[in-house]
Structure formats: structure tokens, C-alpha cells
Structure 1
Amino acid sequence: EEVNVKMMADKVSYLCVVDGQGNLKSLTTRSDLKKNRDYPNQCKNALGQLVCGAAVSASASDAIERAGALAVAGVDVIVIDSRNGDTQEQLDVLAWLKSNHPSVEVIAGNVAVIGQVRKLLDAGADGLRVGM
């Protein structure tokens, strides 16, 4: 917010934001201001970046490998997709992700009945896909 006000007041086209040691933290442009104005409800992470998510199929033979690669690449959220939301495959991928990459939010599903909801939440899901 402070950067937006500074750019508008000084009529500059870009502004470098540095920390106390002079390290570059971000580069904000006038087009960023326009996007912030036009899309005030955009979802950003703690670094001010748009939230990035990706999905993996729970039934894929390399689901854990793919989920791990996505977590290492820095996605904010991973959706574990399964036709039947409480399969052992999905529970295994969910448990592995929460154990090895606890900062990554995990959405699991699809769920259609309360029993599936309980299993996934008990296994550590941060969110659920509901409906078929």
C-alpha cells in the first residue's frame, strides 16, 4: 500500500523496494498499480506474489514424486485429485505432503459424503473439493 501511494505521489513508472541492508525485495511498476486497482480481491501470498497452485492425480504412479517437485518449486497449494476422495492412494499422498512439506496447503477430494470428509480432515487436509 505504501509503495502504491509513493508511486502515485511521485509519478514514477517503477519503484525498487529494498530492505534495511539494501537488498532488493521487489520491483513495482505502474502496471502493478493498475492490476491492484482493477483486481482488489486478488489472492497473494506472504511475499505479495499471486498464489500459485497445481494438481496431482492421486492414482498416478508418480503422484508423490510430482507433488514433491511442485512443493520444491514453491507452489502455495497442491490439489490432490481423485474420483473417490478417500482412497488409500490419496491418503498416502496427503500424509507424505504434510509430513515432508508442511508449509504447502493441501486440498483433497472429491468428497460427497461426511465419512470422506472426516477421513481427509483427520489425515491433515487443509481444504476439500466437494461434489462430483
Structure 2
Amino acid sequence: MTTLLIAALPLAGCDRAPAAGDPAAATDAPAPATPAAPAPTLPAEFVVSTNEPFWQARVEGGEVVLDGPEVDGRRFSIERRDEGEDARVVHARDAAGTISVTLRPGPCQDSMSGAEFPHAGDVTIDGVGPAPGCARPAGTPPPRPPEE
């Protein structure tokens, strides 16, 4: 019986966590898990600008305001917001149709001007699209193109 107890003693220490100050704590303990970086915070109100066609969809309050070719200030009422880890999608409607505006973490470089935006985005209007573009928080000025 004594032989079995002595043989089991080394195994009994296998599950213990090293105590603070224990030399094994620095060498044998697994490294603590690194917490995942938090997902970037996407603004609730934002502006997506696209190139060819040159749309600008402004999401503010309870509406989306669209400016662009043959459109100036078309207003859509927001019906739904889909929130995900990597995107925010706003769905809105007016009497004539629908718009979906998507915001994603950036950065995003404007394909024509070279300006750097903090976010990427796209716009789908009346089922046509998505037209890709860049985005910024509402209330902030558009970024300037790089100096040449």
C-alpha cells in the first residue's frame, strides 16, 4: 500500500498552478491568453462617397440623404440597421424605392483623388449596386487629397 501511495504522489502535483514566487511559475506556466483586439467602432452617422457614379449617401438621424447624378437631396426613411462585427448596413426607403448603405472599417483610399478615408463603404440604390466607395463619420469634412 505504501508503494502505491508513493508512486501516486508525483502525479498529484501535475494539476497544481504554480504559486506566485515559485520558480516554475516563470518557466513552466503557459502564457496568459492575449485578449482579442476590440472590433473597430463604426460611427452610427456617416457619409459614403462613391466614384462613377458619383453618389454621396449621408446617414444621419432617421434618414439617408442621397446626392448624385440627377438627384439632389433624395430622402429615405431608415427602416432597419444591421450591425455586425465587420460592417454596419442601413436599409431605407422612400415612395420611389430603396437604398442600402454599408459602412466597413477602413482605411480606404479614394480611387480618383487619392484621399485617405477612415472607413470603406458602398451604396445600393433601387437594387442597383453595390457601388463601392469610401466613408467618413458624419459631421467631419472630407479628407483632402495628398499634396503632389
Pairwise TM-score range, normalised by the shorter structure = under 0.3
> Based on CA coordinates, which of the two structures has the bigger radius of gyration?
2
Q: Which has the higher contact order (CA 8 A, sep 6+)?
A: 2
Q: TM-score, normalised by structure 1?
A: 0.25
